[in-house]
Amino acid sequence: MWGTRLNDCYQNLGNNQGYETCINTDKSDDSVLSFTVDLTGQATATLSWWEWFDLFLVWDWAEVYVNDAVVFQHCGGNFVAPTAWEEQVVDLTPFVGGPVTISFHMMSSTVVNHAGWFIDDVQITAQGASVAAPIPTLSEWGMIIMSLILAGSAIWMMRRRQVSS
């Protein structure tokens, strides 16, 4: 789980351009979780995560970037205290075909302090562009061969009993 707890390290007015603007003027001041995923050869992909989101939305907000493009945003509006973890899902299909960098950014001020933004169970689900016919693995071939040997042995044993009777 990744989370950011609000304390005294944030600027008094945050890094936006004003009340409810949600314009991030200084990304170096953000709390950031970032990672790269290779979506080469994929036809579709989604990003999902569970979150506990508790920010003062008129001055604080959170964004998810994919290759520096905002794909998800908590911004503006009235404060609603969280009562449960919520799942969020973002379509990554426009970004398939190569590596993508995914970044969770949280911006906050010290105007009003809430708990912060907590993220858990981040998952990328992708489906390949073409699905080849499944080729049995060695263990599957082993099971097939073992079944044939057992069936052959059973037939041989039954014939042997018939001959000896």
Residue range 71-125, pLDDT digits in tens: 998 877 777 778 899 999 999 999 999 999 998 887 776 666 777 788 888 999 9
Averaged pLDDT, 27-53? 85
With beta carbons less than 8 A apart as the criterion, state whether 34 and 68 touch.
Answer: no
Averaged pLDDT, 49-56? 84
Name which of 23-27, 38-42, 126-130, 137-141 the model is least confident about.
137-141
Averaged pLDDT, 52-60? 77
Instruction: Return d(Cα 44, Cα 130) in angstroms, integer.
Output: 11
pLDDT for 140 equals 58
- Quick check: 25 pLDDT over 70? no
Instruction: Return d(Cα 87, Cα 122) in angstroms, integer.
Output: 10
Query: Considering only the top CATH level, what class is 2-131?
Result: mainly beta
* Domain regions of the chain by residue span: 2-131, 134-165
pLDDT for 107 equals 77
pLDDT for 158 equals 75
With beta carbons less than 8 A apart as the criterion, state whether 39 and 98 touch.
Answer: yes
Q: What pTM was computed for the model?
A: 0.66
Q: For residue range 98-110, what is the model confidence (pLDDT) as tens digits?
A: 999 998 887 776 6
Averaged pLDDT, 19-43? 75
